[in-house]
Structure formats: C-alpha cells, structure tokens
Amino acid sequence: MSLPSVPRDPNRDRRNRRHFSYVNTEPGKQWAAYIAGSTWWCWVHGSIRSKPCSEQISGGEVACEYCSKKIPSIVKGYVPLYRQTDYRPCCTVVFEEIRDVVDSLALHCRVAVGRGTKKTDPIYVARAMEAVPAYVPINAEMTAPADITSSVLQMWGDRELRQWYELTHGKSDNALSLAMQQQEESKSVPVDTDRNPSGDAADVPLLGSSFYSGLSPDSQQSIIQKRNAAFVREAKKPKTNGSH
C-alpha cells in the first residue's frame, strides 16, 4: 500500500522556484517560443561570454572587477521566453542592434528564435510567420508578464551582485507583485530627515540603476532605506561567475 500523496495547495506561492534558464541556439537552427515578459537590457562585459557590469547595474553600489581591468562594456538584452514545445521558462541573449524589433514584440506573441550559419552569428528573435499555435497559459502565473532579472543574476553567479539585489529588491521574479510590495513598505518606512529635512521622498536623489525604472519616488526611497539598513559588505571572496 502506497503512502498518501500531499495534495497540491493552490495558495502556495511558487514564484521563487521559477527560473528562466539560458537555452543555446545552434548555428543554422531555429526554434519557436512565446514572449514571457519585457526584455531586460543591461550592461555586460564580453560579446560572447557575457559577464555583468556590476557597477552599471547597481548604480555604482557594487564594484565591477571587469571595469577595473578596463574591459569595455556593451548593452545586451535578456529575452524571457516560454519554449513552444514544452512551455519551459527560458531566455536568450540578443545585441542592442535589434532592440527596436525585440521591444516591439507583444506579450505572449509567437516568435522565432534563431542564429545564422556561423557560431559567431548573433541570435535573433522575430515575430513568427505563423501566429499558431497560439499561446495557452498552463497556470495563472503565466498570464502575467515575467521579470527575468533575478533569474539572470542567478545564472551569472555573481555573489555580491545577487546579494545586493536580494537585499534591496527581494527574490521574486514577478515585477508586478514586487512593485506593489515596495509601495506598501514605503508607507511604513520613516523618512531619513538627516538626508532629506523636508520629509519629501521626491527630493532624495534617485538611484541610476535600470532596476529602478518605473518605480515611484516613494518606492525608490524605500529601497534606499532598506539598503542602508541591511546591506553590509562582506570580505570579497573569489567570484564563481557562470558562463553562457
């Protein structure tokens, strides 16, 4: 006689277990997918094996070892996708040259992901010639746009940058729930009158990182306060950045 299986709890939050892993595209190959959310454009070092520019991404709060080595940085986009064959959350990386094309793709539209005949050819993401089969979400979570940020940080494996992000933004991949959470937190966070005597959060200099795009001044102030209270730099350990 088998032991009873634990029933599924429909209220269990599974977002922290979702991960958009990188999927390689072979030369001359093409595969179909659906747009899962907005592309995250960020500064990286290296055109083939990308490493994050920690200083640019964190608004200057985390030092970048590649900047210190004078390695040039470029902008790349991490495109969140649901693979058509199995709806696997995954991502691909594109260059800024096709940003207008990629950013014009609507949420959940069917796209073709491919590469030219050479291994050095860049990856492209374009609207598929056929809109069918249409996207059919397999759960409620997949109806909302996904935020790929924390998945990319996990993929990079940069301990300091990921620690900074989790302490200032949390671990969720869901941008909508995160913004709502920050707005609620900002209501209960006291204003630092030493830095801002007027008590107006809008007077506080806002951080320059792309993480803060679209957040209200109150939400950004909440992040600044949380960072100042919780972010304590540890002794620098050897980095174990991933590659892709």
Nearest to 138 by CA among 168, 108, 110: 108
Q: Where residue 68 sits, what CATH number does that domain have?
A: 2.40.50
Which tops the pLDDT comparison, 200 or 157? 157
Q: ∠44-17-152 over CA atoms, to 5°?
A: 5
Q: Where does the pLDDT of residue 227 fall: very low under 50, low under 70, confident under 90, or very high at 90 and above?
A: low
With tokens 């209960």, the residue in question is 188
Which structural domain range is residue 135 located in? 17-152
Question: Is 192 part of a structural domain of the chain?
Answer: no
Q: Residue 56: which of 69, 78, 41 has the closest Cα? A: 41
State the pLDDT confidence band at 176, using cuts at 50, 70 and 90. Answer: very low
Q: Could you identify the residue written with the tokens 């390695």?
A: 71
Residue 84 belongs to a domain: yes
Question: Has residue 83 got a pLDDT over 80?
Answer: yes
Residue 194 falls inside a structural domain: no
In this predicted structure, the answer to whether residue 10 has a pLDDT above a threshold of 70 is no
The count of domains in the chain is 1
Q: Could you tell me whether strands 21-22 and 89-95 are parallel, antiparallel, or unpaired per DSSP bridges?
A: parallel
68 in any annotated domain:
yes
List, as one string, the DSSP characters of 49-70.
S-EE-HHHHTTTSS--HHHHTT
Confidence at residue 32, expressed as pLDDT on a 0 to 100 scale: 97
Task: Give the C-alpha separation, 165 to 167, whole Å.
Answer: 6
* Residue 87 located in a structural domain: yes
For residue 243, tell me if it sits in a domain.
no
**224 inside domain:** no
